[in-house]
Chains A and B, each alone.
Chain A
Amino acid sequence: MNGQGVDGSTGSTLVDARGLRCPAPVIALARAARDAAPGTVLIVWWTDPAARHDIPAWARMRGHKVLVTEPLAPEGGDGGDDDGRAYVTAYVTRVRTASGGAAG
């Protein structure tokens, strides 16, 4: 499946939802949130345009906090073509799960 894994350097959870269409990115993120300890930082990679709006809306409904959303540097790290017209741009959003409990 589109991988969930542990990013060893920070102890945060990575959800790769690139290529998934709504509502799949939010479902994948919610699964990770359900399984994570309160206060965990979840990192989600996504390409679906709806995710830009739906990740913050989900976080608000669940009491999680969106920390930042920014373009994801292309793999290989050469920066690539900056105008984003040649291929689908991927983004990364960081979410801190609610500290109050195990809400999914």
Chain B
Amino acid sequence: MHPVAQEAFLAALEQGWADPRRLHAEGRRARLLLDGAREALAELLGARTEEIHLTAGHTASLHAAVAAVARARRRVGGRVVVSAVERAAVLAAAALAGDEVVTVPVDRTGRLDLRAWQNAVGPDVALAALQHANGEVGTLQPVAAAFEATARAGVPLLVDAGASVGHVDVGPHWDVLAADPSDWGGIAGVGVLAVRSRVRTTPTGPEDEDPWAPGGVSVPAAVAAAASLRAVLADRARSEARRALVDRIREQVAQTVRDVEVVGDPVERLPHVVTFSCLYVDGEALLGELDRLGFAVGSGSACTSSSLQPSHVLAAMGVLTHGNVRIALPSTVTADDVEAFCAVLPQAVAEVRRMAGATDL
């Protein structure tokens, strides 16, 4: 959490605790704060204020966006086009809303097959969804070119920028844009959805004053989202400093760990995410070993998920799914932290391989 988010949240709790739909003075004050947050988010995301909708969170944004756009275009067609590496919330919403889901493959780095995408987005498609960048492996998607194809076919493009906003410029190539405050240091409990005025939507839920967030959203969380995004974007140098640290990790891992695949695009990527898979390594055991050494990392390996299914992103890329480590560097990370991690990793991997009796393979 960004310190600015905490400050803004507490201040807004003082001033904006009331229900912004009420007409008394307290309610009007909360309404002013909420409108201010939407205005700021619009400016920071390159949208108009009336195009900004707040939701209960990023997953809710994605569910609502897919459902509402698909329903509005029902007469056009029931087909939904998605990339194979979209967030699970997008894939699940597409499966529910579409008569047919067309999944466009990615290459070994996780980048969209642009030609297949261009072929898939015909005029009978209700909606296409492409992430701005993949949050698991960091690869940036060719959103501008993908948007050109959907625009030509008259198909609305949903861009899931949940992993990008606050870290890289997301640009103007979208019809619907979903951003996730908790990813840039905001406070959990609010999501941001920008819907261009030209896009037709039909909410699928029961009637409510705010169909994007039935019952309304947390005003303090919305204020914290806007304030922290402004702070994060003003401090771009800090975000960019992480790029060199990720380069360092990529290079060190490849050099010092035997039989490892550093995955995702080495250049066209998020500045703060690095992912690699170690052959013959149990991901859960490696996470435990690193945790014991004081490093909190994530994993896309099956053994670390409750479903026992490996990450659909790693699977779609055709890279090793076991022994997977995903690191998202926080903006407070130092070069010393990175060196300390690189120093212990080879031994941690070797230890897990030794326990599995896989040292001499």
Mark B322-342 against chain A: 1 for CB-CB distance below 8 A, else 0: 110000000000000000000
Interface centre among B261, B283, B310, B320 (most CB of A within 10 A): B320
Q: Tell me if A39 is interfacial: C-beta within 8 Å of chain B.
A: no
A54 touches which one: B320, B358, B360, B361 (CB < 8 A)? B320
Q: Tell me if B141 is interfacial: C-beta within 8 Å of chain A.
A: no
**A residues near B261, Cβ cutoff 8 Å:** 57, 61
Interface centre among A21, A22, A27 (most CB of B within 10 A): A22
User: Contacts A21-B302, A22-B301, A48-B302: A30 and B321 contacting too (C-beta < 8 A)?
Assistant: no
The answer to whether B361 touches A104, judged by C-beta atoms less than 8 angstroms apart, is yes
A57 touches which one: B282, B303, B321, B357 (CB < 8 A)? B321
CA A48 – CA B280 in complex, angstroms? 15
Interface residues on B, range: 20 to 34
The answer to whether B280 touches A26, judged by C-beta atoms less than 8 angstroms apart, is yes
List the A residue with the shortest CB-CB distance to B282.
A23
The answer to whether A57 touches B319, judged by C-beta atoms less than 8 angstroms apart, is yes
CA A60 – CA B277 in complex, angstroms? 14
The answer to whether A27 touches B320, judged by C-beta atoms less than 8 angstroms apart, is no
The answer to whether B321 touches A58, judged by C-beta atoms less than 8 angstroms apart, is no
User: Contacts A21-B303, A26-B279: A53 and B310 contacting too (C-beta < 8 A)?
Assistant: yes
List the B residue with the shortest CB-CB distance to A29.
B361
B322 touches which one: A22, A31, A34, A60 (CB < 8 A)? A22
Question: Which residues A32-64 have CB closer than 8 A to chain B?
Answer: 34, 48-50, 52-54, 56-58, 60-61
The answer to whether B310 touches A22, judged by C-beta atoms less than 8 angstroms apart, is yes
CA A54 – CA B277 in complex, angstroms? 11
B302 touches which one: A22, A58, A61, A104 (CB < 8 A)? A22
Mark B296-331 against chain A: 1 for CB-CB distance below 8 A, else 0: 000001110000111000110011111100000000
User: Contacts A21-B308, A31-B361, A61-B279: A26 and B302 contacting too (C-beta < 8 A)?
Assistant: no
CA A30 – CA B279 in complex, angstroms? 10
**B residues near A48, Cβ cutoff 8 Å:** 302, 308
The answer to whether B280 touches A57, judged by C-beta atoms less than 8 angstroms apart, is no
CA A23 – CA B301 in complex, angstroms? 9
CA A33 – CA B272 in complex, angstroms? 38
Q: How many chain-A residues does the 8 Å CB contact rule pick out?
A: 21
List the B residue with the shortest CB-CB distance to A56.
B318
In the complex, what's the smallest C-beta–C-beta distance from B360 to chain A, in angstroms?
8
CA A21 – CA B320 in complex, angstroms? 14
Question: Which residues B269-294 have CB closer than 8 A to chain A?
Answer: 277, 279-283
The answer to whether B361 touches A30, judged by C-beta atoms less than 8 angstroms apart, is yes
The answer to whether A61 touches B259, judged by C-beta atoms less than 8 angstroms apart, is yes
Q: Tell me if B144 is interfacial: C-beta within 8 Å of chain A.
A: no
Interface centre among A21, A23, A27, A48 (most CB of B within 10 A): A23
B309 touches which one: A27, A30, A49, A60 (CB < 8 A)? A49
In the complex, what's the smallest C-beta–C-beta distance from B305 to chain A, in angstroms?
10
User: Contacts A22-B321, A31-B361, A54-B321: A49 and B279 contacting too (C-beta < 8 A)?
Assistant: no
Q: Tell me if B356 is interfacial: C-beta within 8 Å of chain A.
A: yes
CA A48 – CA B310 in complex, angstroms? 10
**A residues near B303, Cβ cutoff 8 Å:** 21-22
**B residues near A53, Cβ cutoff 8 Å:** 310, 314-315, 318, 320-321
Interface centre among B280, B318, B323, B361 (most CB of A within 10 A): B361
In the complex, what's the smallest C-beta–C-beta distance from A39 to chain B, in angstroms?
19
In the complex, what's the smallest C-beta–C-beta distance from B225 to chain A, in angstroms?
37
**B residues near A34, Cβ cutoff 8 Å:** 360-361
The answer to whether B280 touches A23, judged by C-beta atoms less than 8 angstroms apart, is yes
Since A50-B310, A57-B261 are in contact, a sample of 5 more A-B pairs with Cβ atoms closer than 8 Å, ordered by chain A residue number, is A30-B361, A34-B361, A50-B302, A60-B318, A104-B361
Q: Which 9 pairs, one residue from A and one from B, show the smallest C-beta to C-beta distance? A: A23-B322, A57-B320, A30-B361, A50-B302, A22-B322, A104-B361, A50-B310, A53-B315, A27-B358
Residues of chain B touching chain A, judged by Cβ–Cβ distance below 8 Å, are: 259, 261, 277, 279-283, 301-303, 308-310, 314-315, 318-323, 356-358, 360-361
A-B contact pairs, 10 of them (CB 8 A): A23-B279, A23-B280, A49-B308, A50-B310, A50-B321, A52-B315, A54-B320, A61-B279, A104-B360, A104-B361
